[in-house]
Structure 1
Amino acid sequence: MGQVFSAASKKEDNGDLLSSFTEYFKKIKTESKIISPETIRSIELHLKNGNIQRANSVIRDALKNIDNVPINIAVTGESGAGKSSFINALREVGDDERDAAEVGVIETTMKITSYKHPKIENLIIWDLPGVGTLNFPPKDYLKKVEFQKYDFFIIASATRFTKHEIDLAKAIKRMGKNYYFVRTKVDFDIDNEKKCKPRTFDREKILDQIRKSYEDTFSENEIPKPQIFLISNHNFSDYDFPNLVNILIKDLPAQKRHNFTLSLPNITEAAIQMKYNSSKQFIWLEALKEGALATIPALKSLSNSDVEKLEASLNHFRVLFGVDDKSVELIAKDCQVPVEKLKEKLKSHSLLTNKENETLGEKLLKCLETFLSVSGGFLATGLYFGKIFYFQFLFLDTVTEDAKVLLREAYLKE
């Protein structure tokens, strides 16, 4: 009788896991999922058959792939197009920092140069010489730049797209890769028009005229009208950069979306929320992989090793979301406010600060109890996780809110 009950209970647990997994990923838009539809179906099938070990193995492989799969972004365009500044802005590196892409008024990219993202190790942005330059003639261009290794191409221009670049776009499409036309330095055009024609200045009309001029060029060269992204390298939150980001995430393979999303600068609250949603998926999958679902956390104590792991985890989130000490100091400098005053508004900086006669473990447990009472289990789904994973969700919630606070502070000073 005991064996029958045990088998029935196990079957019920497996059913709960399958239902929870299916319901969770059903709510996430296809273009935002960090694992492929095939992987999701495979996990569901193993859970349905009661093969938890095999389901966990599929998840383990998927997470390992997310951590290790390379992301290679190619940026090319004419001399003076602002490629280097664009690359630096993507990497959140100042033009004058030591490992920044070289910026200049003359052609500074005479060879293929790679730039690793400072926070995402497997993401590399490649600064390519413009097509048609001396060492990179059009007929040999794709071969010389090792076309196949890039996930997509960004073709940048500050004035107009030449026939070389349009022919390059056609070749890229024929070979099964994506390209995106980016018109940089739009803020300069807007400022100049505003100064020259203050009485008749119409920002949207000017932007429409810029788009129309490019559409005419594409039509003349018999290329289907692509979307043109008008951007400012000095202010990614304005103009079309947020739209570009959404399309890039949608077009990337599922296993590359998570790290690409985490690499993006905190330009809007929507961008920060995308990081949050992606990270939440990752933690959820890690919990399932570790068999930590359906276990009620014991909130009595934390070992020293647990505390060390949690400290490392929180600091990792703070770096990814740009609320670490170094990032806060830079924002305080830009906003011209004291660092300590800015830190007072952030919750993540006090999570690891224990009061007198209170251990760090006790402090964290109190924070966790408050978090659980507010969230109602795992975001009110009725699921339970192991204690460590509840801390992961607590940390993620906290740094996400802190990132939004810093973004609002930066806007107040503009």
Structure 2
Amino acid sequence: MDTFEDISQEEIDEIRRHVDEHGLSGLPGIVQDKMRDWRNVPLSIAVVGEAAVGKSTFINSVRGLTADDEGSAAVGTGDTTKEPTMYRHPYNEKLVFWDLPGVGTPKYPQDKSYLGRVGYSKYDFFLLLSDERFTSKDIWLAREIESLKKDYFFIRTKIDDAMESAKHSERDFSESRVLERIKNNCYDNFKAGQLAQRAVYCIDCYDKHKWDYTKLMEDILVSLPELKRNALVLSLSPLTKGLIKSKTVVLKTRATKVALVSGIQGACTSLIPIPLLGGALSVSLDVALLAAEVTFYLKQYGLDDESLQELSSRTNTTVDYYKDALKDGSAIMASRQSVKTYLMNVIKSEAAEEAVKRIPIEMCRFIPFVNALVGGTANFATAYYMLYKMIDDLEKDAMKVLDALIQATSSEVD
């Protein structure tokens, strides 16, 4: 089990000051506000490149939409983007993707005014897309972005078309050899254009599990400062296994705070104590808060009914197809109880028993003030252990659903 360092020293000091001045009154709200901060972190991503390289398709893909969904970016074969157009993420309005007009069009010619006219300063980073070949315009645009000290990721789109073409034209077709050839061509052009060497991400917007889509997402996350990284992780759907694992990391940082709030609520309100297994001990927890947090986890991992229904619709399957993939999954997915009822049963049984045995030693080492805040270690320990275990279980469930998705989509292609 990880340590309790998910609460920073700065946060501990803030909690102590508040308790010294105001007691426990208002403290749960302060801690909860910190957990909501991720939806107040602005993140603007520019998607740029020549006309018809697939910018709109990529924007729809990363937002989990198709071209005919409400709010999707217009997809076409020509210059469909006339002005910088923003597309908010459906789950977080502060996360904005900007579809920028293709460079070299009559209205946006290839000159020094281009990036200024599209408002380069407001973007956190650029995604530079190119399709069938690396052009002089790509080199020019990359130079301009570099000169402005902005980060960018070079993405090679329409790899599926390149693969199909190679299959029909090459006697000894090799997917890995085609990818190597595409990337080497890009590297050669980087060198010829006197650009800094960087990764080339070969992707298929319609199949996120092929080639470099996962690596692209991972590298974007690594490049961001912590607050923006966490906001992006919690905003995106569980598109890849790497993103699922990133969600687990971020959600575990919340578990400590949620457990603390639940314990405080139990200590300073008239919540009815919950007897633990054997009746030797009882805890007072805000079960409604814990249920809301677990419901949040289900949404994050794409395991709630709405997400599974949406997934089945997009893949021409049934919800039962994905539920069958979870037959050997976690107990909460197999249970027909409400989340709150399920948690009550868990608290009374295994989670509490394990928590009392495992947590107190670590707790005394990392956050010694918890005992005073929540009226004993059992409140906090029970909530924390239960949430932590729930996150691990749901991560495994999300991986099962993703495997089923990959199987479904690969069957469609075959």
Residues 216 and 194 of structure 1: CA distance in aligned 2, closer, same or farther (over 3 Å):
same
Residues 335 and 177 of structure 1: CA distance in aligned 2, closer, same or farther (over 3 Å):
closer
CA contact (8 A) 2:218 2:242 kept: no
Residue number among 361, 364, 367 corresponding to 2:346 in the alignment: 367
CA contact (8 A) 2:291 2:343 kept: no
Question: Residue 300 of structure 1 corresponds to which residue in structure 2?
Answer: 275
Q: List runs of 5+ in structure 1 lacking aligned partners.
A: 1-18, 26-34, 355-359
Residue number among 320, 323, 336 corresponding to 1:343 in the alignment: 323
Question: Residue 321 of structure 1 corresponds to which residue in structure 2?
Answer: 301
Question: Residue 191 of structure 2 corresponds to which residue in structure 1?
Answer: 219
Normalised TM-score (structure 2): 0.76
Normalised TM-score (structure 1): 0.76
Distance between the aligned counterparts of 1:83 and 1:231, measured in 2?
A: 12
CA contact (8 A) 1:299 1:387 kept: no
Residue number among 404, 408, 411 corresponding to 1:409 in the alignment: 404
Deviation, structure 1 residue 163: 3.0
Question: Residue 332 of structure 1 corresponds to which residue in structure 2?
Answer: 312
Confirm whether residue 399 of structure 1 aligns to residue 383 of structure 2.
no
Confirm whether residue 131 of structure 1 aligns to residue 103 of structure 2.
yes
Confirm whether residue 353 of structure 1 aligns to residue 337 of structure 2.
yes
Cα offsets for 1:25-70 (capped at 9, x unmatched): 6xxxxxxxxx9xxxx56457x49x976859x899778655433110
Residues 292 and 224 of structure 1: CA distance in aligned 2, closer, same or farther (over 3 Å):
same
CA contact (8 A) 2:52 2:79 kept: yes
- Secondary structure (helix, strand or coil) at the match of 1:105 reads coil
CA contact (8 A) 2:154 2:200 kept: yes
Question: Residue 233 of structure 1 corresponds to which residue in structure 2?
Answer: 205
Deviation, structure 1 residue 181: 0.7
- Secondary structure (helix, strand or coil) at the match of 1:72 reads strand
CA contact (8 A) 1:351 1:364 kept: no
Residue number among 117, 126, 140 corresponding to 1:167 in the alignment: 140
Residues 263 and 335 of structure 1: CA distance in aligned 2, closer, same or farther (over 3 Å):
same
Q: What is the Cα-based RMSD across aligned positions, in Å?
A: 3.7
Identity of aligned residues (%): 28
- Secondary structure (helix, strand or coil) at the match of 2:247 reads helix
Residues 338 and 180 of structure 1: CA distance in aligned 2, closer, same or farther (over 3 Å):
closer
- Once the two structures are overlaid, the 10-residue window that deviates more, 277-286 or 338-347, is 338-347
CA contact (8 A) 1:156 1:181 kept: yes
- Secondary structure (helix, strand or coil) at the match of 1:121 reads strand
Cα offsets for 1:138-187 (capped at 9, x unmatched): 32122212111111000101123433332332232232320111001112
Residue number among 124, 129, 138 corresponding to 1:156 in the alignment: 129
Q: How does 1:191-206 map to 2 (within 5 A)?
A: 191-197=164-170, 199-206=171-178
Amino acid at match of 2:160: D
Distance between the aligned counterparts of 1:342 and 1:206, measured in 2?
A: 34
Distance between the aligned counterparts of 1:42 and 1:228, measured in 2?
A: 39
Question: Residue 222 of structure 2 corresponds to which residue in structure 1?
Answer: 250
Residue number among 155, 177, 180 corresponding to 1:208 in the alignment: 180
Confirm whether residue 71 of structure 1 aligns to residue 43 of structure 2.
yes
Distance between the aligned counterparts of 1:190 and 1:247, measured in 2?
A: 24
- Secondary structure (helix, strand or coil) at the match of 1:201 reads coil
Distance between the aligned counterparts of 2:352 and 2:305, measured in 1?
A: 27
Q: How does 1:1-150 map to 2 (within 5 A)?
A: 21=4, 24=5, 40=8, 42-43=10-11, 46=13, 63=35, 65-137=37-109, 138-150=111-123
Cα offsets for 1:316-355 (capped at 9, x unmatched): 322222122232124335666542453352654555626x
Residues 375 and 190 of structure 1: CA distance in aligned 2, closer, same or farther (over 3 Å):
farther
CA contact (8 A) 2:59 2:97 kept: yes
Question: Residue 372 of structure 2 corresponds to which residue in structure 1?
Answer: none
Residues 192 and 307 of structure 1: CA distance in aligned 2, closer, same or farther (over 3 Å):
same
